[in-house]
Amino acid sequence: MPGSMIHLLVAKKANPNGSALFFLGNIAPDAVVDWHDKDVTHFRDLKDRQPALISFAKETAGGYAEGVLLHLYSD
């Protein structure tokens, strides 16, 4: 799993003119106090996370959500 700086670099390459919310979304899933919470923010608490990721991608609109989706994809 990449660190925050790698996620920001990927975000910059994917959308050089992205909004601040887009860049924030790219690091937000890792912004948890307890590392076990990443299981939830990354859909790893599900037996099969693919349907959840597909559903999230279909519902994604706006910079922040697109950033989160890119984060999950790049992980």
The span from the CA of 11 to the CA of 34, in Å, is: 25
pLDDT in tens, 4-29: 899 999 999 999 999 999 999 999 98
Of 64, 36, 41, nearest to 53 by C-alpha is 41
Cα pseudo-dihedral 2, 5, 6, 9, rounded to 10: 160
Alpha helices per DSSP H over 1-75: 4-14, 20-27, 38-41, 50-59, 63-74
Q: Where are the domains of the chain?
A: 4-74
Render pLDDT for 59-70 as a digit per residue (tens, 0 to 9). 877 899 999 999
Query: How much is the pTM?
Result: 0.82
Burial label for 75, CB within 10 Å (0-12, 13-18, 19+), is middle
